[in-house]
Amino acid sequence: MTDALAAALTAYESGRARPEALRYAFACACAQRVRHLLEDEAVLRCLDTLVAYVQGQAGEEALERAAREAAALANGHQGSRSLDGVGHAAVSASYAVANALAGRALQAADYAAYAAVYGGGGYGAVCDPASFAPEKAWQFAMLAQLAQAPCP
């Protein structure tokens, strides 16, 4: 599924003056979708910086600073203390934010999908590939919607 999403992103990016704008917008949308799973206020602030960047209200320097902070926070996340491991969704959501801030849209989408599925069903759900179908369908639809917006 990631290969198909990668192909769609590449196709939508072609011919754009700033293809990275679509990449960041898509990565941001994926990370925002799992915002409710984030546990750390600092990661939330990093995500807010990404939102501001996508909206043209923050510059490259702020984006780079937030990307470094989010990566450090994701790498230092303590993991889940819950018996069923559902708390691991917060770790994956943190990695979704870190990857989104770094401009790695496909990785952000993968981590966000994993967080959403893990948060909704725990370990058993992530072992079933069919559990990811609704999230991946949302991602394809969101990418198509963002691609229809005027080229920045």
Q: How far apart are CA 25 and CA 116, in angstroms?
A: 19
pLDDT of 127 reads 72
Q: Name every residue whose Cβ is closer than 8 Å to that of residue 39 and which is 6 or more positions away in sequence.
A: 87, 90
79: its two tokens: 């993991």
Tens of pLDDT, residue by residue, the chain (152 residues)? 579 999 999 999 988 888 899 999 999 999 999 999 998 999 999 999 999 999 999 999 999 999 999 999 998 876 655 555 556 888 899 999 999 999 999 999 999 999 998 887 665 566 788 888 999 999 999 999 999 987 55
What are the sequence ranges of the domains in the chain? 18-143
pLDDT of 54 reads 96
Can you give the pTM of this predicted structure?
Answer: 0.91
End-to-end Cα spacing for the chain: 27
